[in-house]
Chain A
Amino acid sequence: MSIKIQAKDLNLYYGEKHALKNVNLDIEENKITAFIGPSGCGKSTFLKTLNRMNDYVKNIKITGNVSLDEEDIYDSRVDTTILRKKVGMVFQQPNPFPMSIYDNVAYGPRIHGIKNKKQLDEIVEKSLKAAALYDEVADRLHTSALGLSGGQQQRLCIARCLAVEPDVILLDEPTSALDPISTLKIEELLMELKEKYTIAIVTHNMQQASRIADYTAFFLVGEMVEYGKTKDLFSLPKDKRTEDYITGRFG
């Protein structure tokens, strides 16, 4: 029951806009934490602060603290390459590189200097198996990844992420572009993965959060309104805004 990532008094500004307001949140290790909330509430922005993907957005100012394993990730001594190796990200639209399936998965390890073919072969196979994709593509590893279906592409992106052996996997609405069956496959996959990884997922789909998340945080206009065990948040929300959102009175 240890805390993997901690956000303390986190504030984020896009120029004048105060996009995240005093967010305090602990993400537990080997659990799935979901972030829910209406469009524009800041949940994706918050997710991106966890691996410093916000660094690439212009005009951003961040105050407060985000720490991974008790180390401040915004410290100037931090090597973002290593940070993003430890904290991987999967995006809403599956975005495999225009390369072969093999090269997609091997991309990460190659960045970090692994060149030995045998090693890469092992990593690729292991990652594809962990992402429940290996059986479907074993006979065509060197064909273009763009030939896969949407659900397969997304699992490939997960495999690509797993190949660098992260501690944490961040997912930004990973199934919103997929059909229901692919969605369920990926949800099953995430439930298996949480044994070894810490998972944070932004989702629009509340049934998804209630199906797979151990903890859920509700965001509204940049504020983290309520956070707790998913079961509690969905049956007896403490804040009226939470209740109104999850029962569909607004959103």
Chain B
Amino acid sequence: MENSIFDKKSRLSDKVLYSLIQLCTLFSVVLLVVIIGYICYRGIPDFSFSYLINTPSIINDTIGILPNIINTLYMIVLTLLIACPIGIGGAIYLNEYATNKKFVSVISFTTEVLAGIPSIIYGLFGMLFFGGVLKLSYSILTGALTLAIMILPIISRNTQVALEAVPKSYREAALGIGATKWYMIRTVLLPSAIPGILTGIILSMGRIIAESAALLFTAGSAHILPVGLFDHLFMSGGTLTIELYLCMSEGNFQEAFVIAFILIIIVLALNFTAKWISKKFDVNKVV
């Protein structure tokens, strides 16, 4: 038979490309494994539970990073508290209420630009404005405000994308039964958009933890335990990442690797949580 379907051709170019792609993937995975592996290798030996819950004190001759952990928590919560309402609210307005197309595109463009500004510049701005003009000096609040501006684009963008992904038909259906616009947003759009919004929040949390440049001159690097829950906001406080930076600059690599190890655990935990939450709250899945 001339034109038989049985003649299997060996398509060399396809096979070569396939192998190359496999190689790339392998490379990424190997890279990740190597980094995590090395940090664990250097960090685990010196890791101890007491390190987690101790405060560094010359008097008691202890080292520990409890204050830094608490500061990191403060930073995350505070930053999100500031940025989320603004980011989510703004995104809802832009997507659902704004009618001037030009206005919306200007805002979108601004947001994109904000996302690309180097974090040290945020640090500079934060230090001079929040720290100086608003006289907050070195404090967790200064740091949180600075970081809030930084993560605003992430929250806003993710919320916008999540809202845009909600099919137009849901909106029409709700309005067609007599729902007001806000009722429709509240009961149909937002629930549908939650996975996307949560993704934005988790990404932001990752960013907050990762930040060092912006925090160095805004939140400072102190490692004292909070005396008053609310007063601590106005005190200088270094996060885990800042402490890591300081350890490295002092040449204290032993401690540095332990902190790095803890940070890796936190990042991995965050990522898994993000995935789990996304799946759990996805209203669009069927079963």
Contacts and interface: CB of A to CB of B under 8 A. Distances in A.
Q: In the complex, A touching B, CB below 8 Å?
A: yes
Interface of A: 51, 53, 56, 58, 80-85, 88-89, 91, 93, 95-99, 107-108, 111-112, 144, 146-147, 157, 160-161, 164
Contacts of A80: 178
Contacts of A88: 176-177
The DSSP consensus for interface residues of chain B is: helix
Given A97-B188, A98-B192, A91 B283 contact: no
B99 interface: yes
Contact of B177 (A56, A99, A108): A108
Contacts, number: 71
B174 interface: yes
A71 to B, nearest CB: 16
B179 interface: yes
B104 to A, nearest CB: 13
B287 to A, nearest CB: 7
A147 B285 CA distance: 9
Nearest to A160: B177
Interface of B: 99, 167, 169-170, 172-180, 183, 187-188, 191-192, 283-287
Contacts of A146: 284-286
Contacts of A81: 178-180
Given A81-B179, A160-B173, 12 more contacts: A53-B172, A58-B99, A84-B178, A91-B172, A95-B172, A98-B283, A107-B177, A107-B179, A107-B187, A111-B177, A112-B178, A144-B285
Given A91-B169, A97-B188, A53 B176 contact: yes
A59 to B, nearest CB: 10
Given A91-B169, A95-B167, A107-B187, A84 B176 contact: yes
A53 B175 contact: yes
Contacts of A89: 172, 176
Nearest to B183: A111
A82 B179 CA distance: 9
A164 B283 contact: no
Nearest to A170: B176
B101 to A, nearest CB: 9
A181 B285 CA distance: 27
A97 B287 contact: no
A33 to B, nearest CB: 19
A99 to B, nearest CB: 7
B37 to A, nearest CB: 42
